[in-house]
Amino acid sequence: MIKVGKTLIEATEQLEREKGISKETILRSICDAMITAYKKHIKGKQVSNIVAAIDEVNGEIGVFRIKEVVEDVQSEHTEILLEEALQIDPDAQLGDEIQVEVTPSDFGRIAAQSAKQVITQRLREAERKLIMDEFNSRIGTLVTGVVRRVESRNVIVNIGRTDAVLPKNYQIPREYYRINDRIRVCLVEVRETTRLPQVIVSHTDPKIVRELFELEVPEIEDGVIEIKSISRDAGFRTKIAVASTDTNVDPVGACIGPRGSRIQTIVNELKNEKIDIVRYTDDPSEYIANALSPARIVSISILGDPEESQEALVVVPDDQLSLAIGKEGQNVRLAHKLTGWKIDIKSMSRFEAMQAEYAREEDYAEEQYSEEAYQQEAYEEGPEEGAQEYEEYPEESEEAEEAYEEALEADEAQEEQIEEAEEELQEEIDEEEKED
């Protein structure tokens, strides 16, 4: 056997303590690598019944071939004489299987390389498994990381056991990330790669705002105040809906804190991101009005069935329209995400114009309906009444008949002219073909 020393055994024990890889797994893998290396070493020879073993006490490793004890050897690769077997194992008997050492004399370097490769591979596999197990179970949670470097548009953040990737679409706009900055991020995804798993984190997730409120507002941690919903445009504005389980506690005031101390701490942590604290209520109209603050609301109409469509028409004063919609639609977009309602905002003048147009359409529809009803009534009165009406206006009826006949005659004359023109055109075409 080859002397490798007890250092290898101690290294496997250290790996078991630090990386969580069992010593038996590493040693078994080294034995498998030794067998593979031995088979490559003796090319073209019989390589069946090969095993490897490690003596943990003496720090030795060797390769063995399993042979059957027989009286007459037919194959030296699989059989051994009883006399030779007794030298290896004094208790050997015919028909037993014993291990015969076949370790090459120059196998030390190969054994060392195999051990190194196996340990490296097992470490990589173990680290991969540990990362997958640890971070897959923590998706959606928050961690504190340290910015290590910036690569292209991605920021590399160390979160303990591994480095995570903060992609461009998960970064706060206009935020400058400096090396060694400590930032709070949310675990979003763990991706399988050819090497170690890639952990994706986000700096824009609303959960970050939720955690900051839970840290700064003790009533939230105690369950007196409940965060109902959060909508965030990271780096610009956040709306958070809160409700109180205690009628004596104002949820909005508790989140703001004495002289705004609590909300100011959160704003500073979010690099001066604006925060609107909205009072939650079960009444959809009131909830939508609160979500659209600071704009003033004239009226809110729920369209259709609230349980199915969840659409609302909101009317605001003309001078409040731009404030209600917000820059690039930010205010109404965040209110939609916060409440889950589709919100259509109209100015007061536009709403009044729509109402006037609707009234005109209703009047026109009523007139049309009255005329159709009159005609239907005249038809149902019968031929005698119809004849009587016809007799009351004989001159108008005769004039209408004459006009109709004149129109028919004009149509017939026009059709005749068209037919004559077509005949003349056809004759010209025929003459041209004859000349050709």
Q: How confident is the model at residue 398 (pLDDT cuts 50, 70, 90)?
A: low
Arithmetic mean of pLDDT, 252-258: 92
Distance CA 343, CA 335 (A): 8
Q: Is the pLDDT of residue 100 over 50?
A: yes
Arithmetic mean of pLDDT, 58-72: 82
Structure token digits, residue 1: 């056997």
pLDDT at 135: 86
Q: Is the pLDDT of residue 242 over 90?
A: yes
pLDDT at 394: 46
Beta carbons of 142 and 133 less than 8 angstroms apart: no
Beta carbons of 207 and 186 less than 8 angstroms apart: yes
| Gyration radius (Cα) of the chain, Å | 45
Q: How confident is the model at residue 396 (pLDDT cuts 50, 70, 90)?
A: very low
pLDDT at 244: 93
Bigger pLDDT: 112 or 11?
11
Q: Which amino acid is at 334?
A: L
Beta carbons of 278 and 286 less than 8 angstroms apart: no
Structure token digits, residue 167: 């992609």
Element holding 279 (H helix, E strand)? strand 274-279
Q: Is the pLDDT of residue 241 over 90?
A: yes
Q: Is the pLDDT of residue 290 over 90?
A: yes
Name beta bridge partners: 272: none
Arithmetic mean of pLDDT, 60-67: 82
pLDDT at 155: 93
Distance CA 223, CA 229 (A): 15
Which residue shows structure tokens 């250092």?
Answer: 7
The whole-chain average pLDDT of the chain stands at 81
Q: How confident is the model at residue 45 (pLDDT cuts 50, 70, 90)?
A: low
Secondary structure (DSSP) of 186-225: EEEEEE--SSSPEEEEESS-HHHHHHHHHHH-HHHHHTSE
Bigger pLDDT: 155 or 152?
155
Name beta bridge partners: 346: 315
Beta carbons of 353 and 360 less than 8 angstroms apart: no
Arithmetic mean of pLDDT, 220-245: 93
pLDDT at 44: 55
Distance CA 27, CA 69 (A): 29
Q: How confident is the model at residue 85 (pLDDT cuts 50, 70, 90)?
A: confident
pLDDT at 286: 93
Which of 183-187, 191-195, 370-374 bottoms out in mean pLDDT, i.e. has the lowest?
370-374
Q: pLDDT tens digits for 337-380? A: 999 999 999 999 888 888 888 777 776 666 666 656 656 655 55
pLDDT at 91: 82
Answering whether pTM is above 0.95, one says no
What whole-number percentage of the chain has pLDDT above 90? 30
pLDDT at 425: 63
Distance CA 350, CA 115 (A): 80
Chain centroid to CA 72: how far?
A: 71
Q: Is the pLDDT of residue 29 over 70?
A: yes
Q: How confident is the model at residue 399 (pLDDT cuts 50, 70, 90)?
A: low
Q: Is the pLDDT of residue 111 over 90?
A: no
Q: How confident is the model at residue 402 (pLDDT cuts 50, 70, 90)?
A: low
Q: Is the pLDDT of residue 393 over 50?
A: no
Q: pLDDT tens digits for 369-391? A: 665 665 665 555 555 444 444 44
Structure token digits, residue 286: 């009131």
Arithmetic mean of pLDDT, 289-313: 87
Selection from 84-93, 338-347, 360-369, 424-433 with the highest mean pLDDT? 338-347
Query: Shortest CA distance to 280 belongs to which of 322, 231, 313?
Result: 231
Helices (H) and strands (E) in the chain, counts: 14, 16
